[in-house]
Amino acid sequence: MALIFICADIEGVAGVVNREETLITGSDWQRARERMTMEVLAAIDGARTAGATGFTVADSHGTATNILPDMLPDDAELVRGTPRPLMMMEGVDHGPFTAAFLLGHHAGIGQLRGGLAHSFSSRLISTLRVNGRDLPECALNAAIAGQFGTPVTLVTGDDACIAEAVEWLGPVETATTKRSIGYFAASGRSPAVIRDDIRTAAARATARAGEVSPFRLDGLLAVDLTLKWPLMAEMLAYLPMFERTDALSVRFEAADAATLARQLQFLLTVLPSLA
């Protein structure tokens, strides 16, 4: 029995280029969420042709209420809503899963290029580094999956995201959804063609899951976080776990990837009150 965990974001979905498509108040969000849902369905279709028998899908963008539940098949469970302890990977601890797919992802904030690039919150976080290295969402998500014994075998997103994912994770299966031109600009083929690519890549990713080792961030993680407002760093420094390193930055430690997810979820929930 092959069970697949799917983490779905929206910025890396085909055709998505601006905030009007990523915010639930945006004029184009409804169309973008439909394309996001259909890319998830394409991945499910592809994985099923290679023997997958069940799916857990984590809606992992913003309010986590993007994927249209009525469109999912009967063999898929949907994780929806926020906050949640494992953030984008909530549910991966309920395996065992044969493999995890990271769909609709984007480059991290440390990249010089990449459409809508950020690391967990473009509104709150300026930099996020772990052990001195800029940490994109795909790397933390893969490390959380790896902590629970699940290898990431497929990543989809723009070309900048794919390059970053391969740099961190090695030779995973990929599907490039568009070519990044700038922060709010990209070029790409028809979403229907992209879904065909995702379907094919998902089949390959499922078939070769046994060949891929889980990705891990081992040992104590040293986290350097730069925020958008000085008051955020000031207030965090009142707590003994945070060391203030400059006007906007704090340093703290995490025991593992899942613990870091909990810490970030806490911060992203309480920090908006200080913005």
Domain boundaries, the chain: 2-126+136-211, 221-274
For the chain, percent of residues with pLDDT exceeding 70? 100
pLDDT of residue 31: 98
Provide φ and ψ at 156, rounded to 5°: -125, 145
In the predicted model, is pLDDT for residue 274 greater than 90?
Answer: no
Is the previous residue joined to 96 through a cis bond, with omega within 30 degrees of 0?
Answer: yes
Measured in whole angstroms, the distance separating CA 46 from the mean position of its chain's CA atoms is 20
Residue 96: count other Cβ atoms within 10 Å of its Cβ. Answer: 11
Q: Which amino acid is located at 246 in the chain? A: D
For position 112, what pLDDT does the model report?
79
Q: What does each C-alpha distance from 193 to 41, 59, 82, 190 come to in angstroms?
A: 14, 23, 32, 5
Q: Which architecture, in CATH terms, is 2-126+136-211? A: 3-Layer(aba) Sandwich (3.40)
Edge-to-edge strand list for the sheet holding 221-227: 133-134, 125-130, 221-227, 249-254, 243-246
Task: Say how far apart CA 224 and CA 247 lie, in whole Å.
Answer: 13
pLDDT-derived band of residue 167, with 50, 70 and 90 as boundaries? very high
Q: Average pLDDT, stretch 23-32?
A: 97
Q: In 3D, which of 19, 109, 101, 3 has the Cα closest to residue 60?
A: 101
CA quadruple 160, 202, 194, 25: dihedral sign: negative
pLDDT score, position 75: 96
Q: State the residue for tokens 């969402």.
A: 137
Is 175:42 a contact under the CB 8 Å cutoff? no
Return the DSSP state at 256.
S
Tell me: the pLDDT tens digits for 52-106?
A: 999 999 999 999 999 999 999 999 999 999 999 999 999 999 999 999 999 999 9
